[in-house]
Amino acid sequence: MQLHATIADVTARIRTRSAQSRRAYLDRVRAAAEEGPRRAHLSCSNEAHAYAAMGSDKDRLAQHRAPNLGIVTAYNDMLSAHRPFESFPEIMRDAARRAGGTAQVAGGVPAMCDGVTQGQPGMELSLFSRDVIAMSAGVALSHNTFDAAAYLGVCDKIVPGLVIAAASFGHIPAIFVPAGPMTSGLPNDEKATLRQKFAAGEIDRDALMRAEMASYHGPGTCTFYGTANSNQMLMEFMGLHLPGASFVNPGTALRDALTEAATERALAITALGNDYTPAASVLDERAFVNGIVGLMATGGSTNLVLHLPAMARAAGIELRPEDFADISSVTPQMAKVYPNGLADVNHFHAAGGLQYLIGDLLAEGLLHEDVTTVAGPGLARYAREPSLVDGRITWGNGAVRSHNDRILRPARDPFQTTGGLRELTGNLGAGIMKVSAVAEDLHVIEAPARVFEDQDGVKAAFRAGEFKGDCVVVVRFQGPRANGMPELHGLTPILSVLLERGYRVALVTDGRMSGASGKVPAALHVSPEAALGGPLARLRDGDILRVDASAGRLDVMNEDALERAPASPDLDANAHGMGRELFALFRQNAGPATLGASAIQPPETTG
């Protein structure tokens, strides 16, 4: 199938726009690669330090003939999604030895749980943890003793941070090793209903706690289609996982076999062999376009609209909001996974999952097939799924039809004909909306503004019974420069209650929602942010706002509103406590949301 004209055009303009920065990036990667395997350049003293604790692997390491895999792990046992990683290094060391190589844990990176920090001061560190993760992985790999890197991470900021690091060390191969989703617990829609009942005062905290514990109940990724599972989708569409690795449950024989196979493959694609596949070759503009297509086709997390530009910039590639919008305009939404539907990721996987999606999108010309992946050349191999035969991984044909059309549909008969994310622009700035779970009659909201400067103010107004009609709730001074751009997911139950009461309600914010933003129409990541004098800083209660996902508009209708002086609240409370004082440098240097809100990459465009 010939590549769709819009996908080809978007890819071409990204390539043209990024030509200078991409060329400079590849020149740096090429220079690093030409120096050869890294351990050969270390002194004997350097090497002795690196191998001192490696026991029987010491001789093999010192001889430089066998590849050495550096493991960068985000393991902790506070994140359910990362709990399985505790056992992965030993599995990988054993697999490396059987393959004639070695593996070492190069270092750990921090991994915070947004589910724990939602609505708490710690959430103000969340977005910038992505940059810290990238830098921490850089520290791990700076020892310069590794021929390839394996990245163990799943959740919200962890995978994007690790991809930034992989791009920065683009001369060595990079393979991402997932842990898989937890088994299905309390259905997500039942949990959401109980959250709304608690917000409305209809059930007590004990009942809510029982529901939450029944939903988040064991090791593995949370089963809704939020940022963590969107990350896993992305790694397959971009060719950084082994095919079919994303949604295999932890603690199964197939999961362990995939981890072993990832180790073997990482060792096979180093510069010491005949199949050298550096990360820079995988992370090109076609891979990022494929990732955006996957995001749109699955109705994935709005957080990836922040992360993908930051990831791409690390590889010398510039993505812009219009790239997302144009790809969305031709990409059908083929999946309905909670909060876009009732199914969880285990049901989605059983229905045919990513292998069906990739195969069907390739058949429709909506993906680049001619890409480099860690599994080999061509994305078509990602339409194949793994199974265990006599204890060994084999890949066979994936599903060629959906096994449940309430969860997964073909591109020619989708849930909707365009992607799950929309770009909004207007006199209030630029933002995005996840529309895949929003009822069509809520795609356009025009109503008076209620303006708040934090989410606690919204909650207090709700408890006081102040919401008595249609409104657009504005929560401003939530951008990266103001307070680190925390997720405002705690507002979802309140705004959902207002919708249930029959009010037409939308949210407008320069902050974030999680991948579980759900059925509330929400204009997110509005830029320029209020803390930099953006238009949101000029709004007052009663201004008439129009949030129009159909036309892609975000406007205040009484234009005299924008002639006011911007509000300038005291943001000192955001600067201290729960580690926030340690992140002042990040807040002061963060780029705009449209470029990924990163503090470690220059905020200006790359030309």
What's the confidence (pLDDT) of residue 518?
65
Is the predicted pLDDT of residue 288 greater than 90, yes or no?
yes
If asked whether residues 370 and 284 sit together in one domain, one would say yes
If asked whether residues 344 and 303 sit together in one domain, one would say yes
If asked whether residues 512 and 581 sit together in one domain, one would say yes
Is the predicted pLDDT of residue 517 greater than 70, yes or no?
no
Count each helix (H run) and each strand (E run) in the chain, helices first. 22, 16
* Cα gap 482→358, rounded to integer Å: 39
Pairing of the two strands 376-377 and 372-373: antiparallel
pLDDT tens per residue, range 76-116? 998 899 999 999 999 999 999 999 999 999 999 999 988 88
Residue 210: inside a domain, yes or no? Answer: yes
Nearest to 515, CA basis, from 420, 397, 399:
420
Residue 407: inside a domain, yes or no? Answer: no
**Positions at the binding site for [4Fe-4S] cluster:** 155, 222
In sequence order, the β-bridge partners of residue 408 are 335
If asked whether residues 209 and 222 sit together in one domain, one would say no
Q: Are 282 and 288 in contact (CB under 8 A)?
A: no
If asked whether residues 124 and 250 sit together in one domain, one would say yes
Is the predicted pLDDT of residue 607 greater than 60, yes or no?
no
If asked whether residues 289 and 327 sit together in one domain, one would say yes
Is the predicted pLDDT of residue 420 greater than 90, yes or no?
no
* Residue 533 structure tokens: 């004098």
Residue 241 burial (10 A CB sphere; 0-12, 13-18, 19+):
buried
Residue 309: inside a domain, yes or no? Answer: yes
If asked whether residues 456 and 309 sit together in one domain, one would say no
> Which of 59-63, 124-128, 251-255, 448-452 is predicted least confidently?
59-63
Give the angle subtended at the CA of 129 by the CAs of 116 and 231, to the nearest 5°: 75
Q: Which domain holds residue 252?
A: 5-183+218-397
Is the predicted pLDDT of residue 603 greater than 70, yes or no?
no
Please identify, among 329, 362, 397, the residue that sits at the C-terminal boundary of a domain. Answer: 397
If asked whether residues 489 and 566 sit together in one domain, one would say yes
**Positions at the binding site:** 155, 222
Please identify, among 215, 231, 264, the residue that sits at the C-terminal boundary of a domain. Answer: 215
DSSP percent split of the chain into helix, strand, coil, nearest 5: 45, 15, 40
Residue 123: inside a domain, yes or no? Answer: yes
If asked whether residues 554 and 441 sit together in one domain, one would say yes
If asked whether residues 209 and 230 sit together in one domain, one would say no
What pTM did the predictor assign? Answer: 0.93
* Cα gap 199→501, rounded to integer Å: 13
pLDDT class of 513 with cuts at 50, 70, 90? confident
Give the angle subtended at the CA of 595 by the CAs of 180 and 7, to the nearest 5°: 70
CATH number for the domain that contains residue 473: 3.50.30.80
Residue 38: inside a domain, yes or no? Answer: yes
Q: Are 258 and 235 in contact (CB under 8 A)?
A: no
pLDDT tens per residue, range 302-338? 899 999 999 999 999 999 999 999 999 999 999 999 8
* Overall residue count recorded for the chain in this entry: 607
More confident residue, 118 or 529: 529
Q: Are 253 and 540 in contact (CB under 8 A)?
A: no
What's the confidence (pLDDT) of residue 515?
53
Q: Is the peptide bond before 339 cis (omega within 30 degrees of 0)?
A: yes
Residue 72: inside a domain, yes or no? Answer: yes
What's the confidence (pLDDT) of residue 341?
83
Percentage of the chain beyond pLDDT 70 is: 98
Q: 587 CB contacts (<8 Å, ≥6 apart)?
A: 128, 480, 481, 482, 483, 484, 574, 575, 599
* Cα gap 392→469, rounded to integer Å: 61
If asked whether residues 461 and 324 sit together in one domain, one would say no
Q: Are 398 and 35 in contact (CB under 8 A)?
A: no
